[in-house]
Amino acid sequence: MSQPLTARSADISLAELLALHQRSHGSARLLQNLGDGFLYQKNPFFRRIRDAARARGIGFTLQDPGDYFAFPLVALDTVLAARRVPYRANYAALAAFERTRPGFFTLADLQKNRPLPNYVLHESAHVVAYRELFGRPRDTHAALSEPSKLVHIVLGEAYAMTAEYFAACAVSGPVHAWFFSINSYRHRVPAKKAVGEFVSRFGLPLVVWLVLIAFLENNFFVERLAMKTLERALELYPLGKLPHISRADRVRLCRALSALMVMNPEFREDTARLFLTMHGYRRNIRSVLSAEPLDSIARDANLPVQLTRLVGTLCDRPSNGRVGQK
């Protein structure tokens, strides 16, 4: 018989972990993705993106569209066009490992070597954002190659990063942390305490909006969020009346958003260069991404409505404007 879960993740037996995974399975969940049902039950941001994907007809597949597992960046066009998010059967792999010595292994045995992760949260958020920002074009590659849609492409990446950030903030406890770690690119949650305080004071929609803008700016090679950028983001807030935010709180917001938007600069630049040059852009990617993205948002009459829906999805905000607790 498996040992019960303990306070430390290293002490959790694989038998109990797998049993918990099985008990958590149900509607809208992927049995072959480790932790999928648990995260759907326990992590509201994971659940909201899953529900948003399913509501838009987006499915999930154990096949490998566009050779995704060989080169995910190159396969993104195929994933977006097919509206099918690929994932590996890492549950079956771990269950096979457990069966070699039932009840013997714990998570401590997987610290250096474990099943390959799935990134269904990140990729689902990508497809949700693409469906909202681009609709259903006949030719996905052509749609992504349209110069007027550059900010839409980067918003898709920023949205996936925002979804993962808030899902990481919602992690609580060692089991939740391990299951999330094998389902996400994100392993650190900078400024989590400050962001939580801002959510309590100013509401989740506004903070999601500002985090989205921070990641958007960072993908345009902005390293720290300036006060003037924050002020502009607040002016463009599309989800209703702003609460009063003092000067001191605006300084704290800039500091927290600057902390959380940090990512590996070489990886960011190389990823942007490869993806955008695939779609006809110049190799000098810093020149391509030198404009102020908030100007593009301000000029596009459709973006405020589209971004309202995307931010609302992460807040579980129904059309009547109330923030739910689904």
- The answer to whether position 178 is within a domain reads yes
Asked if 86 and 65 touch (Cβ cutoff 8 Å), the reply is yes
d(CA 326, CA 316): 7
Asked, for residue 191, whether it belongs to a domain, the answer is yes
Instruction: Provide the token pair at 190.
Output: 């900078």
Residues 242, 245, 247, 249, CA torsion sign: negative
Q: Which residue has the tokens 């902390």?
A: 259
- The answer to whether the CB of 7 falls within 8 A of the CB of 37 is no
3-state SS assignment for residue 180: helix
Q: Across the chain, what does the average pLDDT equal?
A: 93
Q: Is 43 a domain residue?
A: yes
Question: Could you give the CA distance from residue 163 to residue 71 in angstroms, rounded to a whole number?
Answer: 22
Q: Is 33 domain-assigned? A: yes
Tally of residues, the chain: 326
In a domain, 212, yes or no: yes
Residue 104 has pLDDT above 50, yes or no: yes
Give the amino acid at 141. Answer: H
Residue 321 scores a pLDDT above 70: no
| 321 found inside a domain | no
> Taking 70 as the threshold, does the pLDDT of residue 302 lie above it?
yes
| 5 is a domain residue | no
- Using one digit for the tens of pLDDT, what is the confidence trace for 207-262? 999 999 999 999 999 999 999 999 999 999 999 999 999 999 999 999 999 999 98
Number of domains in the chain: 1
Its domain, for residue 26, covers: 12-315
Strands (E), 8-157: 59-61, 84-86
Is residue 261 situated within a structural domain?
yes
